[in-house]
Amino acid sequence: MKKFRLPQSYYNWTSLIGTTIAVISLFMIVFLFVISVFFGEGESSYMGLVMWIVLPVFLVLGLVFIPIGMVIRSRKNKRRQIKDDKLWPKIDLNDLSTRNATMIFGIGTIFFLLLSAVGSYEAFHYTESVEFCGTVCHTVMKPEYMAYQNSSHARVSCVECHVGSGADWYVRSKLSGLYQVYAVLADVYPKPIPTPVRNLRPARETCEECHWPEKFYARQLVVEKHYLADEANTEWDISLQMKTGPTYSALGLQEGIHWHINPNVKVEYIATDSVRQNLPWVRYTNLKTGEVQVFIDEENSLTDDEIAAAEIREMDCMDCHNRPSHDYRPPFRFINDAITAGDISKDIPEIKWKAMDILGMDFPTTDSALQYIDNEINGYYSDYYEDFYNENKDLIAQAVKAIQDEFQVNIFPEMKVKWNAYHNNIGHMEFNGCFRCHNDKHTTDRGNVISRDCNLCHGIVAQGVPDTLQVGSIYEELEFVHPNDPYQDWKEYLCVECHADLY
């Protein structure tokens, strides 16, 4: 049996090193693939990154080294006149080394193309996975990933909203992702990550793949429990009828909050700031009748030249639902919910006030915040409520853990992310939200006004302390009563003017 031989030009250090790199990379890919299939380790984002992204790069690099080394060796041989100087290599399958090289090249090419097809398919799906989006760039994407996991869209993959279907948007997302990769590697990414996302696909091409706004007729009853920042953590309940649709479903989208996306209506606006909070110009168009009304905020009006040069954006779902999966709740909301759920005992005196006092601070790191919460809660109650503290250490420990747990899913010091880092346009408590337009300041030349009447969007059907609850009905709405405000000074202000400083 003749000795196995390859062309003489193959035997050089560059080709041999390339072969070694390629073989080791291939072995590692196969090994990790077997591990992921038979031992259930495929969910690891880092294994996927290594298996389908990193190792294939080394495999291709090693394969490229082989012909490079052979070309360099051939040229050296020619210069030394070891072989005849010919323009093209002589392919003679009767020659053992040529026949071996041809078989290896042919079989290797088929195998490599098959492996590339499988690898490319797996790499595509891996880069589209939630784990890839949320965990590979761990520090950068941790706030978004944590908030996403606790959102109503936790079972919707990231790419369904951020990319959508179709090759064109896939390519756009990958091209924009190149700079993001560079920013992470060079440590030049902003903290927090700015929003809104400028190259995000229109909501009608993503949200409406699942949601059908024209059919959202039903009104909803929202029942909330709040707790006042007093010693007794006094409970204050409020029940709201949210007017997402009209009184009668037969009216379609003629009334209610979702009137804004009525297919017979077009609402457009001009924003003068990057976060779309200042909207001095609003245009309403009735597509059936052709009626057009332009509402101007006279206190912040634009010149004709400024209007002509500005971007006029058509209102869609994302203008109100701008934090559908990455909502960082303010402390007053998650502390209220923790007390309601029993994670924090309502019997702990002043716990609402103390938790709010702590969570209003800024911390350099998550670890320092968790340690401070533990020390401050235990120190405060051991000093000012010594008897209660000694008798209820288990309740105090439970409250500490609940506050720490809520902190870790809503506040992220390393990325400077918390509730006030991003505007949330649903409602009008923490941010202007609805009041960006509905503020009684936007008027037409005919005197029409975009009203700030709260009853346009919701009606109060119950409110107050449970023992003396004031109750109305869906037909007889109550006038809002603000707790601890006997003179009703709240009527002179927008909610955000006071509440933004309380959280």
CA dist 259 and 313 (Å) reads 17
Residue 205 is assigned to a structural domain of this protein: no
Q: Is the peptide bond before 413 cis (omega within 30 degrees of 0)?
A: no
**Overall average pLDDT of the 71-77 stretch:** 78
Measured CA distances, 57 to 64, 66, 112, 123, 455 (Å): 11, 15, 13, 12, 60
Residue 209 is assigned to a structural domain of this protein: no
DSSP 326-364: -----HHHHHHHHHHHTSS-TTSTTHHHHHHHHHTS--S
The verdict on 49 and 185 lying in the same domain is no
In the predicted model, is pLDDT for residue 455 greater than 70?
yes
Packing angle of the helix pair 55-79, 96-127 (nearest 10 deg): 150
The verdict on 308 and 239 lying in the same domain is yes
pLDDT on residue 1? 45
Q: What is the DSSP letter of 449?
A: B
Pick the more confident residue, 36 or 34.
34
How do residues 196-233 score in pLDDT, each as one tens digit? 776 777 777 888 888 876 666 678 899 999 999 999 99
- Return mean pLDDT, the chain: 84
The verdict on 494 and 367 lying in the same domain is no
In the predicted model, is pLDDT for residue 42 greater than 50?
no
DSSP H/E element including 242: strand 235-242
Do residues 273 and 195 make contact, with C-beta atoms less than 8 angstroms apart?
A: no
How do residues 325-364 score in pLDDT, each as one tens digit? 999 999 999 999 999 999 999 999 999 999 999 999 999 9
Residue 494 is assigned to a structural domain of this protein: yes
The verdict on 411 and 293 lying in the same domain is no
**Overall average pLDDT of the 428-455 stretch:** 92
The verdict on 467 and 438 lying in the same domain is yes
* Confidence grade of residue 112 (pLDDT, cut at 50, 70, 90): low
DSSP 258-322: GGGG-TTEEEEEE-SSTTS----EEEEEETTT--EEEEEEGGG---HHHHHHS--EEP-GGGT--
In the predicted model, is pLDDT for residue 274 greater than 60?
yes
Residue 256 is assigned to a structural domain of this protein: yes
Question: Considering 176, 200, 224, which residue would you say is the last residue of a domain?
Answer: 200
Q: What is the CA radius of gyration of the chain?
A: 32
In the predicted model, is pLDDT for residue 46 greater than 60?
no
How do residues 116-172 score in pLDDT, each as one tens digit? 666 666 666 677 778 777 777 667 888 999 999 988 898 888 888 887 776 667 677
In the predicted model, is pLDDT for residue 10 greater than 70?
yes
CA dist 324 and 342 (Å) reads 26
pTM, rounded to two decimals: 0.75
**Three-state SS annotation for 115-170:** HHHHHHHHHHHHHCCHHHHHHCCHHHHHHHHHHHHCCCCCCCCHHHHHCCCCHHHH
Residue 310 is assigned to a structural domain of this protein: yes
Highest mean pLDDT among 72-86, 166-180, 291-305: 291-305
Residue 196 is assigned to a structural domain of this protein: yes
Question: Considering 390, 421, 452, which residue would you say is the last residue of a domain?
Answer: 421
Residue 227 three-state SS: strand
The verdict on 14 and 113 lying in the same domain is yes
Residue 208 is assigned to a structural domain of this protein: no
**Percent with pLDDT over 90 in the chain:** 42
Residue 206 is assigned to a structural domain of this protein: no
The verdict on 431 and 318 lying in the same domain is yes
Which tokens is 145 given? Answer: 């990933």
Task: Give the angle 328-329-334 at the CA atoms, nearest 5°.
Answer: 140
The verdict on 292 and 315 lying in the same domain is yes
- Domain boundaries, position 115: 8-127
In the predicted model, is pLDDT for residue 43 greater than 60?
no
The verdict on 449 and 320 lying in the same domain is yes
CA dist 429 and 432 (Å) reads 7
What are φ and ψ of residue 293, in 5° steps? -130, 135
The verdict on 28 and 165 lying in the same domain is no
The verdict on 21 and 93 lying in the same domain is yes
The verdict on 273 and 374 lying in the same domain is no
Of 210, 424, 245, which is closest to residue 320 (Cα–Cα)?
424
Q: State how many domains the chain has.
A: 4
Question: Considering 151, 174, 200, which residue would you say is the last residue of a domain?
Answer: 200
